[in-house]
Structure 1
Amino acid sequence: METRIRTRRTAGALVALAAAAGLAVPAGAQAAAPTLIPSRTTVHTDDTTPTAGVRFHLFGAVWSQGERVPATVRVKTFRQGHWQQLPGAVQQTNRNNRYRLHIALQMTGERMLKVIGDPRDPDIATSSTTITVTVH
């Protein structure tokens, strides 16, 4: 797979270089540029109704082509009409390519959290999923 990834990167770079230099690029060559491999992020929690200020856990993995992949995982919360990064809620997956984040939310009520998995491999797309918890 590593050879195939390098080949796609090289081919895409050559097409981009030729186009930037003003050289004629064959029809369809732009379409042949590499596309990102899809991924999906899973999330589970040990407490869907956490108490304000008390830690709970979000855990899961980032998957691509049926396998867990190494990634950076971030958690954002939806507040005031947009997604805001939760301070300190960033983690690299472990050696088993899983994550387990400790979260403590202060604001009570229903909170929507977005978990974003950004794979280390630049050829794999970033993915996200949401989970809702009710803080009391």
Structure 2
Amino acid sequence: MTHHPRRTAALVAATALAGLGATLPAAGAHAATPSRITVAASDTSVSSGEQLVLSGRLSQAGVVRVVAKDGTSWTPLTGAVVHTRRDGSYAVRVVLSRAGDRVLRVVGDPDAAGVRTSRARVVVHVS
């Protein structure tokens, strides 16, 4: 039988972790690579119905969606979905109508397989 150094190292690490009571991923499962996203608002205080732009960068090209905090859940904002440029930069227009402090979250979903979705928040006051 031929020994593979990577498999042997993985087996040793798995055995050590199992002894510590750690849970291992299923065979063949790989941890997803993290992604990062940034967000900035063109204005953090707007009038109801006024347009603002959220912009930033996703660590890889992908799709960016904007969702708003609605009580305890997040609600997608209609039409607030864009594909990033090749360098991961994005800009998305948003119009908010409900008054008060609105917590918005941009959700970046990279195109690459095996890369996790990332999130960033910004608060905008709507009067």
**TM-score, normalization by structure 2:** 0.76
Q: Alpha carbons of 1:77 and 1:29: their partners in 2 closer, same or farther (altered >3 Å)? A: closer
Structure 1 stretches of at least 4 aligned residues deviating more than 6 Å after TM superposition: none
2:69 is equivalent to residue 78 of structure 1 = yes
Number of aligned residues: 104
Task: Tell me which moved more, 117-126 or 30-39.
Answer: 30-39
SS state of the match for residue 45, structure 2?
A: coil
Equivalent residue number for residue 108 of structure 1: 99
SS state of the match for residue 87, structure 1?
A: strand
Amino acid at match of 1:61: R
The answer for unaligned runs of 5 or more in structure 2 is 1-23
Equivalent residue number for residue 127 of structure 1: 118
Q: Distance in 1 between matches of 2:109 and 2:58?
A: 8
Residue number among 32, 49, 54 corresponding to 1:53 in the alignment: 49
**TM-score, normalization by structure 1:** 0.71
- Alpha-carbon RMSD across the aligned residues, in angstroms, is 1.6
Task: Tell me which moved more, 32-41 or 114-123.
Answer: 32-41
Q: Distance in 2 between matches of 1:96 and 1:51?
A: 32
Q: Percent identity?
A: 34
Alpha-carbon displacement from aligned partner over 1:93-129 (angstroms, at most 9, x marks no partner): 0233211001110001100001100000011100101
What is the deviation of 1:61? 1.0
Structure with higher Rg: it is 2
Q: Distance in 1 between matches of 2:104 and 2:68?
A: 5
